[in-house]
Amino acid sequence: MIKLGLLWTGYLILSFVIFLLASFTINGWIVYIFVLLPLYGLILLFGWLRLLKHRNERAQFSHGRWLTVIVLQIAVLLTSPGNCYMANQGARCYSNFQILFDNVPQSGMVLNAPHWIIVEDSFYGFVLAYCVALIIGVWSTKFKTDRENNLDLE
């Protein structure tokens, strides 16, 4: 169980660092620091408490649920604000998706590039979906003793 706890801890730390690096903007960091960081802290706290309670059992988790978490995490990374030049004057932020697939620079002023409003506005929805999927992924982990595992195999 300790290995699973360390895996979850490593995933959450690496995930948080990747989120911060991928969206080096104040708009992205506000969401990551004030929404994701407290959620990650709660998941770590309750996840470790749950793992310690079931430390002599084997964990079983759904690969499909964790695949959904990873897909939603990629969607959050792509839709997160990437270029927020002039955002403090009311301008919209360009998404990382548009930076990757259009001629928008990572920083600085953008000339004549229309905003992909649907992609930019979907960031908050993807963050919410990612948070829900992450909670479901962690809490849907089942624990079984070795005896129960042997009965399931027969």
Place of tokens 């979906």: 129
In this structure, of 28-32, 33-37, 59-63, 127-131, the range with the lowest mean pLDDT score is: 59-63
* Segment 18-28, tens digit of pLDDT: 999 988 888 88
pLDDT at residue 41 in the model: 96
The three-state (H, E, C) secondary structure of 8-30, written as one string: HHHHHHHHHHHHHHHCCCHHHHH
Most confident region among 68-72, 98-102, 141-145 by mean pLDDT? 68-72
pLDDT band at 89 (very low <50, low <70, confident <90, very high): low
Q: How would DSSP label each residue in 27-72?
A: HHHHHIIIIIHHHHHHHHHHHHHHHHHTTTSEEE--HHHHHHHHHH
Tally Cβ neighbours within 10 Å of residue 129: 17
Q: What percent of the chain has pLDDT over 70?
A: 90
Q: What percent of the chain has pLDDT over 90?
A: 45
Place of tokens 């990551």: 32
pLDDT band at 145 (very low <50, low <70, confident <90, very high): confident
Question: What's the gap between Cα 20 and its chain centre?
Answer: 11
Place of tokens 């979850």: 8
DSSP state of 115: -
pTM: 0.86
Q: What residues are paired with 59 via a beta bridge?
A: 143
Closest CA to 79 of 142, 126, 14, 143: 126
pLDDT at residue 94 in the model: 83
Q: What is the rounded CA–CA span in Å between residue 153 and residue 133?
A: 29
* Segment 34-80, tens digit of pLDDT: 999 999 999 999 999 998 998 888 888 889 999 999 999 999 999 99
pLDDT at residue 150 in the model: 54
Average pLDDT over residues 114-126: 90
| Rg, Å, the chain Cα set | 19
Average pLDDT over residues 86-102: 79
